[in-house]
Amino acid sequence: MNARLTLLGTVAPGVAESEVFRLALQHAVGELGALGGMIHLRGPMSALRLVSTAGLPPALTRSWEIIDQEGPLAPARALHQGGGVWVPMGAAGAAGTAGASGASGATRMAGGAGSRAGSASGSPTASAPGSPTPSVPGSRTGGPAGPAPGSSAGPAPGYPRGSSADSRAGSAAGPDAASPFGPTAASPFGPPPHLSAGSPAHPQAGSRTAGSSPANPLAGPLTRLTAGPPTFPTSNYLTTPVPTATATATPAPAPAPAPDTPPPTWPGTGIAALPLYRGRRSTGALSVLMGDQGEPTPEHWEFLRAVVAWTEERMVQAPPTAGPSRPVQPEQNGERLRQALKEVSVGSWDWNIQTGELLWDEAALELYGTRPEEYTGLVENWMRCVHPDDLAPTLALVDRAILEHGVFEAEYRVRKLDGSWGWTQARARATYDDNGEPHRMIGVGWDSNEPRSARDALGRALRHMSDGFLAMDDDWRITFANLEAERTLGYSEEELFGRLLWDLPAAEQVPGLEIRCRQAAAAEKSVSFDVRLPNGRLCHLRLVPGPDGRTIYFTDVTEKRRLEEERRCAERAASERAARIAELTEALAKATTSKDVVDAVARRVLPPFEATGLVVQAVEGDRLTTVGSVGYPRDILAILDGRERTEPSPLWDAVRAGTPMFMSSQREFATRYPDLADLPARAGKQAWALLPLTASGHTFGVCAVTFDHPRRLTDEERTLLTATSALVAQALERARLFDAEHTRSRELQRSLLPRDLPDLPACTAAARYLPAGQGMDVGGDWYDIIPLSGGQVALVVGDVMGHGLPEAATMGRLRTAVHTLADLELPPDEIMSHLNDIVGAMGEESYVTCLYALYDSTTRVCSISRAGHPPPALLHPDGTVVFPPLSADPPLGAAEPPFETTEIPVPEGSVLVLYTDGLVESSKREMDEGMAALADVLRTAHADGTATDLEHLCEQVTAALLPAHHQAADDAAFLLARLHALPTSRMASWPLPKDPKAAGQARSLIRKQLAAWNLEDLTPTTELLASELVGNVIRHAKGPLRLRLLHDANLICEVFDGSLTMPRIRRATETDEGGRGLQLITALSQRWGTRYTPTGKCIWTEQAVQPTAPDPLEGTFLAMAGLGEDFDGDLDALAWGDQEF
């Protein structure tokens, strides 16, 4: 083991970073016999900062204090190529004095393609001629590999920034290689992530092309300033990203040194450099200036890698620095930094907090509008150039950053050289001495390019507005106060700045102010309230939370509140009548039905006049019919309702006169109407105001406002009631027209819905249609059950968008269309496609949602297709409720075929619930919430056993989701269907050969099966039907051939074949020998039809299990001879036995 590595391994963790660098360079230079060494670290902007040297005088290192990370110098190349780099003296990137342009082959990578790793297989790679390649114990590579000196290989320019860590190969020895840094063979820290085994190696780099290097590679990319204000060293705390010039691989040539200071000549033969990493991120480079011995040997490269690994480990373990790290030669380093910042228009400054000394560079002088001859070097220089309104807030931020050891960030206005004000931004951090006292603050500043005209205008408006205004940060410290706030609170803005709101005497004397403000801020909602100040004045506060703090507006409203109260008292009496008229007008405008009008009058007219009764009647022919009433018993209403024109009645008198009538007591009533003298006592009324209802010059009714005590109305009250009657008349006339139309619409809609649901073996069902609340037009919701062949049943529910007679008519058309398409026994997706065409032809504004479910009781499978409709609910026999995941196609009229069909298995006895959106969705309930509520009702009903009665279950669903007191805004329809499977004992199916003897086999099978079902009476006709169907399949169609019998409510005989050609009935003449087959089937069966199947088609017939009176034609057919056991199925030989397929 190398003695130097062993010595480094004894250094305890926790050594300061500067000491780590010093030890690493001393041992590297000593082991290699080099002339000196350097360590660069990444700094702010695109630069590497010189942080430590060994054996090199300042005259040589000044131009290397800050170098471009993208440049051609050796540390930058090692950083970007991720491995060791050897740069011979005089080549591009070395420190030669000649204007080298990067001769080909002058630069090479060490350690194999610029990587720390050697061969992935563990064997050493090729090295320079004559160079041994032994593996150094504890090293991370097996030896250097790469082109020999003078070869064409070299570092390739243009590697992207940040790619180094990911492009370095792992150690050939793997992570278990011995380490020289600890008492044991393995390193206690383990290999860094970028040196782990298996990391990909960087490809071999090529050489730079001629002309790509700067003319003077000795000088770094940033040159020293030769004149200007005092400079200062850079700091690790200067971490704020500032605008920088775009880094390039070939920086601009630096100015030539002054004639009296010629550039020094670098000794040695070249520079060897290796990158430094922290984790997987490159942080710097270690470089060694070699003497006459030339390029390091493989053993030297391994030693350098081991030193770099030790340095990386100790860097991670080093304690944080108390202040900024100071590179070598701070004065020159500051000059380089100043030059870089000047190029990007960023000024830098260094403020000695203890002495008040302030150092600016040239860019800062220009930024802060100060000429060099006016510069005093004190902080007062800066304070004079800051806008007076911004100085106090900015100084508060400085104090806060120093106290909290944080970053100072501010944006404020400064006076420019031309006398104008401009916005600038600044960022800095303070440093502290060993006692923790603030020592210096180092930072940068730059112009804020954002236009400030709007902000200036807003600031002036806030500063001088009449209301008080306070702005606070997240800690409730005041950051801005306008003039009115200063006057009200009794402090200047400088005194208020930075103080807690609650520490102000005025705020302390307002009970509950802090609690109310904090609650409003926590809720992130603005809040307004009045507070009583200690001096008795009333102040209105408005707190507005924001993302960066809070603002408070406050106004003295003492006089305003007093005047408002006086005005309210003065206007209250005068506005009551107008308010009543306005309220009544608004209520009547919203009233759509006659009941709504009566309710509005009862609520808005009776209370102000202390009336207790109301009767509204309308003329119907020669009678007065009660439209609505309040406060009257039924027996009195029976007397008043239906009184003819010729009978004595005060109500008729008011209608005939067309003018209001007022009676203030029972005596006055009895005097006018002696025949009705007992009526007031029976009704409990003692005063009346009878107001005729006249609209469009026609009196059509009367409104009676009554009192339970004698009451003489004033002229103003009578005038108000008369004006009220005109409004009531207009509203009631409109409502009666609506009632008539609405009644017709309801009747039309109900006539279009199914009157009775069919009772089918495959399903038992119950349904409800629930119209919208009072005043709503009819909707287009519908449901239906359509029995189909083969034990199938179609369940349909749909909703036409909108309300009114056109929508109801559209619903009727679609329901008819669904029936027609279902009778054709098309699959659900095709039915949806046809419906989509129908709706699309109605116009662009027509949209319909629909769900079509086809249940097959023989397979217990339900095929569902939907278009913009909510999914159905399925209540399983065990009480679980699911909403099957179905493909959601757009509504009809907006969809593009084809539609999706989903098949779901349905257990015996399950309840399928189809519904429209009006059942589960409303303005107060989302559809998901409504579906969850529906599922809860179904589960509860199953648990308590009430789900067995579907009618009762309908009532439960209605009560839970659409209670009687709920005024629904949309119609709702739902259908509950309990699905039953056809027992297997009632199904029989047989394959038949495509042979003429198949008809005989079919008859034999039918006789046996019908005997087992005790249906012998149907055997002859069923045999004849099957013979006709089977025989014609054999003659005209193709296989496979299959016969199926279903014993459902009726007897169903089905014949399946593989042909898609449907039979068609035709008229046969008297001389035709065939063409009567379908006529025979029509005569013998109750109904028949065809449907497509996935493999062909099915022709089916249906016969009633309980036969009706015998058909004479059927007897004639059965009496025919030749239909015995040996019948071969060829019905063409018979006079009636032909049909076409």
Does residue 923 have a pLDDT over 80? yes
Over residues 1087-1102, the mean pLDDT reads 91
Contact between 534 and 547 under an 8 Å Cβ cutoff? The reply is no
1088 versus 244: which is more confidently predicted? 1088
CATH topology of domain 758-979: Phosphatase 2c; domain 1 (3.60.40)
Measured CA to CA in angstroms, residue 223 lies from 254, 255, 1120 at distances of 6, 7, 123
Neighbours of 654 (CB within 10 A): 25
Measured CA to CA in angstroms, residue 856 lies from 100, 187, 437, 654, 886 at distances of 91, 75, 88, 68, 18
pLDDT tens-digit readout, 326-336: 333 333 344 54
Q: Which CATH class is domain 1-95+109-117+133-222+268-323?
A: alpha beta
Residue 484 has a pLDDT of 85
Domain boundaries, the chain: 1-95+109-117+133-222+268-323, 345-450, 454-556, 613-744, 758-979, 986-1133
Contact between 39 and 51 under an 8 Å Cβ cutoff? The reply is yes
What whole-number percentage of the chain has pLDDT above 90?
Answer: 28
Over residues 417-442, the mean pLDDT reads 86
pLDDT tens-digit readout, 218-252: 333 222 222 333 333 333 333 233 333 333 333 33
How would residue 450 be classed by pLDDT, with cut points 50, 70 and 90?
low
822 versus 924: which is more confidently predicted? 822
Residue 868 has a pLDDT of 92
What whole-number percentage of the chain has pLDDT above 70?
Answer: 76
The three-state secondary structure class of 1047 is: strand
pLDDT tens-digit readout, 949-971: 999 999 999 999 988 767 677 88
What letter would DSSP give residue 14?
Answer: T
62 versus 1056: which is more confidently predicted? 1056
858 versus 1114: which is more confidently predicted? 858
Q: Which amino acid is at 738?
A: F
**Residue 68: strand pairing partners:** 47
Q: What does the alpha-carbon distance between residue 315 and residue 301 come to, in Å, rounded to a whole number?
A: 21
1087 versus 1070: which is more confidently predicted? 1087
Measured CA to CA in angstroms, residue 2 lies from 8, 187, 304, 799, 928 at distances of 10, 15, 12, 89, 74
How would residue 253 be classed by pLDDT, with cut points 50, 70 and 90?
very low
Residue 747 has a pLDDT of 77
pLDDT tens-digit readout, 886-914: 988 899 988 888 999 999 999 999 999 99
Average pLDDT, the chain: 76
Over residues 86-94, the mean pLDDT reads 71
Most confident of 6-20, 105-119, 205-219: 6-20
How would residue 512 be classed by pLDDT, with cut points 50, 70 and 90?
confident
130 versus 560: which is more confidently predicted? 560
Q: What are phi and psi of 314, to 5 degrees?
A: -70, -25
Angle, CA of 80, 82 and 84, to the nearest 5°: 110
Does residue 1028 have a pLDDT over 50? yes
1079 versus 25: which is more confidently predicted? 25
pLDDT tens-digit readout, 595-647: 889 998 998 888 888 899 999 999 988 889 999 999 999 888 888 888 888 88
Helix (H) / strand (E) element for 387: namely: none
11 versus 793: which is more confidently predicted? 793
Residue 530 has a pLDDT of 84
Residue 899 has a pLDDT of 93
Does residue 134 have a pLDDT over 70? no
Residue 737 has a pLDDT of 84
Does residue 362 have a pLDDT over 60? yes
CATH topology of domain 986-1133: Heat Shock Protein 90 (3.30.565)
pLDDT tens-digit readout, 780-827: 899 999 999 999 999 999 999 888 778 888 888 999 999 999 998 999
Candidate from 639-648, 1028-1037, 1126-1135 with smallest mean pLDDT: 1126-1135
Asked if the domains 454-556 and 758-979 are classified in one and the same CATH topology, the answer is: no
Angle, CA of 725, 727 and 733, to the nearest 5°: 95
How would residue 297 be classed by pLDDT, with cut points 50, 70 and 90?
very high
CATH topology of domain 454-556: Beta-Lactamase (3.30.450)
Q: What does the alpha-carbon distance between residue 23 and residue 306 come to, in Å, rounded to a whole number?
A: 13
How would residue 14 be classed by pLDDT, with cut points 50, 70 and 90?
confident
pLDDT tens-digit readout, 704-725: 999 999 989 988 888 889 988 9
Architecture of domain 613-744: 2-Layer Sandwich (3.30)
831 versus 89: which is more confidently predicted? 831
Neighbours of 719 (CB within 10 A): 13
> Which residues, at least 6 apart from 986, have a Cβ–Cβ distance to it below 8 Å?
1013, 1046, 1047, 1048
Does residue 571 have a pLDDT over 60? yes
Residue 982 has a pLDDT of 93
How would residue 23 be classed by pLDDT, with cut points 50, 70 and 90?
very high
Does residue 777 have a pLDDT over 70? no
Over residues 344-357, the mean pLDDT reads 82
CATH topology of domain 345-450: Beta-Lactamase (3.30.450)
Contact between 158 and 249 under an 8 Å Cβ cutoff? The reply is yes
Q: What are phi and psi of 814, to 5 degrees?
A: -70, -40
Residue 912 has a pLDDT of 97
